[in-house]
Structure 1
Amino acid sequence: MYKLLIADDEQLEREAIRFIIHQNFPDIFEIFEAANGREALTIAFSVKPDLIFFDIKMPGVNGLQAAAQIGKGLPECRIIIVTAYHYFNYAQEALSLGVDEYITKPAPSETVVATVQRVITAIETKRVKGRTDEEKERRLQQITQYFEDNLLVLIAYGEIEEKEIEEYLDILNSNYQAFLSVVTSVFCQHVPGEIVADAEKRILNKRLVDWLKSYFQKIGYHAFIRSIGQEIYILLLFDESPDEYQFRLKGIQLFTELNKSLSDELQITLSIGIGRVNNSVHDIYQTFSEAKRALHYETEPGSIVCFGDIQKSNRKTIYPLNKETSLYQCISRGDRLGAEHLLEDLLEWTLDNYSHLEVYRQKVYELLLALLCETYTTTHLTEFDISTEELSRSINLLDKREDIHLFAKDYLLKKITEINTIKASRADALLTIAINYMEINYQNDLSLEEVASFIQISPFYLSKIFKKEMGENFIDYLTHIRILKAKEFLANPLLTIKDICHQVGYNDPNYFARVFKKNCGLTPTEYQAKYSC
């Protein structure tokens, strides 16, 4: 069905065209009407018609002015100008605006029918061509995807020669200067410690591959991505010539930001291994092997490891991974003193093993990046800022090891303060919601578990923040609310003690009387006699 708009200031003309359309094109058009140009524009941009009959001479916005605006805003819409035969100059202007047809009125029905039929034919021809073009594009994308997927599988298993890789890239029109190989595996935040079945992992990986393709396309990177076995292989292609140090830095930053976006959108975190960058296809298989070794070097979920950082020839002693893990835990719980001591140990180890200024600066940067990423993942504090631009800019301005050392400590302590502030703000917000809920529902059989369920936190945590922020436990605070409400009701001499007892959430009047006297020093009866109006 097509949408048709008839715009004419004469009702008889609109009715005449409507009658002709109904008689000759039954059940084909959904018809709308407008009595002036401004109304026609409003309706057109609302319903997006396929075809418009415009009368040139209409009050306010005339037909040609309206047609010009429609042509800009709704280029797919077809326009037929209808007017008196003596407006020849208008006809010329209409044609210059790209109007499809021009007929004079009063137009014979056969003229209207023939004109509408030509327009319908033109619309259908364009639609068929559009569907054909879309089908061709879809098939081309399928073929391209097949070649990309097949290429990654062959590279991953080492079953393709250098010349064949170049032929694949030529077919895919992928002429790039540098390649970065990455292997990843999934860690699901919402099922910590839970083993994911192979079938579920494959489904999850497929969903993740689609997300990664969309993500890299959005940020302007060309990447081949394929799930192979339990892992996801990524080949990033770059236009610039490779520099190992800069590419390692770029890889850490790129995948730190990727993990943040992935965690926000899908509650998934990737563990990531990054191989060495190279400027030819000769060593791509080798660099994927390196990326896989880097991936399995760290057991911590969400880790990002570059192969260049774990080569044994670059290390004098084994990295104290246990201290880094303890440091994550100190940061998460806001332990400034413990975090400061552990960071001091890690910085000393880094300086002992990477004394060159540039390398030391890079290692400290990578450590701080890893700490930020892990903290964001484990604390689930979406407000926590893990922006890397300021960190990168600030640390690269430092040209002394002692300045880098002090900067790292100061930066980490500021981040811990930020975490503690966010946690305190969250606790205040949650407590406000809990108290509001209690003040509304105090007359019910209210429990700690019910309130915790309402605000989606554990009863243990709610009890903890109640005690810490209010100085009393949940039951004592609920009793406080009920006693205050009971005092308000007791001021009314017409209410009975039994009625008031039930209105404030107690089932037993005797128990209510004991609680009230314990808190107020008077029984409910004594209080009502003394303070009621």
Structure 2
Amino acid sequence: MMRILLVEDEPLFRKGLAKMIAGSEASWEVCGEAENGLVAERLIAELQPDLVVTDIRMPVMDGLELLRSTKAVFPDIEFIVITGFQDFQYAQTALRSGALDLLVKPCSKPDMHEALSKADEFVQKKQMAARKEASERQLLQENALRAVFLRFPYRQEAAAELERELRCSILFVLHVADFLPEDRGYMKRDVPLLQYAVLNIMGELLDVFETWGTLLLIEAGRFALLLPAEASAEEERLLDAACSTVRQLLGLTVLVHNAGHVRSLSELADLYEAALAESAQSRVSADQGGKPEAALPVNRVRQQLIGAQAAALIMAGQAEALQQYLDELIKEMRAMDAEALPIEALSLSFALQDVARKQLEREYEARALTERIGKLNECRSGDEVCAWMKAETERFMQDYEEWQNRYSSNAVLRAVRYIEERYAEQLSLQQVASHVHLNAAYFSHLFKKETGRSFVNFLIDVRMDKAKLLLSNTNLNVTEVSGRVGYDLPNYFAKLFKINTGLSPKEYRKHTTI
């Protein structure tokens, strides 16, 4: 859901804009309103909207100055500028300063919706591109780090960043002693899946133990784990848990060697090779004939990108878009090479499991996942793998629906009570949504659906009702009443009050006390 801040000094026009947006069924929400750029600056820092719709001509601080100052601090916040015909020259300056679009007064509802639709699409594409860029950058870093371990050429521009991240860490070398133990029915073709499962089980445990670390597959069956030096108190528990979990769930033995402290990037290859040399098991493994095979490409970064996109759609409350995204992923993966498809399928499953644990509050169910990996191992065709992925996505969407139902029940009623108790505070949509354990976008959609009003308008109505009581039954002046109901600026409070009641606070008091 795209969160919008309206900035307009004419109250009636601002209210009209809010109604245009609120009357739409699209995923737009007015998260705040301001009467000039100075008030808007404070709200932007507090609310972090996706989009600001602002007039150009305003007192105190105009829209052009607001645009420039905001872009300097929050470059990702987009602007739509509203202008009159006579201000077209200023509008052109606004476009050069980074405004996304222009609207000319008086703008109609279709004009507004067209501009917002374009902005919504632009924001979503930009966010997706940013996530993809971050994932690709991480993949390049991982490839560079792997090259350092193996003494391969690597991008020198990556060296400085890797040096900063890894200096003063501890290197642990982990390897699977044998992928084909006699008590398991694994076959040679199962090794890539098992390797990927081991990598993700260890990655999950890093999250569970809340330990920062860099985990990387170096060669087939050989992994590097870099932990911060200060994590030494927890490292033994983490490594024991990794070995025992892999043994319990997959029947594989993982051996661990402490390679020592990393003082510089150039030491990594020496430490890695020394660790392998000191471990007799690593020199000759049952299935590798004395030399490790090259590892199949394992792109955990793609897995993280899938998880980030799914989490973003959940936070936006876009269930249909989430289902469509997962369906498109399966369709895209269906066209992949038959050898890579099972690993991509497992990647999708691990991504969804991670999102379910972090976003949907699902328990980590390693044994259940192991059973599903077993079913994936049994797949003999691309169609069977795709059917397996479909079952995984259906399970995830069921978890999502259960999570929504669990917190949607009485959520709005609890939110209304919370607002009634704390209306005098600087309440934000995010704060109230957190109180009822819902993400802000989904809560905003649910609140509007059940109350018929946006969160912002509902909060204003509550505050105005309290202000009416204070004006009718106390001797507090307007400034004191404004502060009592949550407004630091009496003039802004007075304008809101007149829009709400048709009377100024003083007129209302006089009218109700006669």
TM range (shorter): 0.3 to 0.5
TM-score (norm 1): 0.39
TM-score, normalising length: structure 2: 0.41
Which has the greater radius of gyration?
1
Greater relative contact order structure (CA < 8 Å, 6+ sep): 2
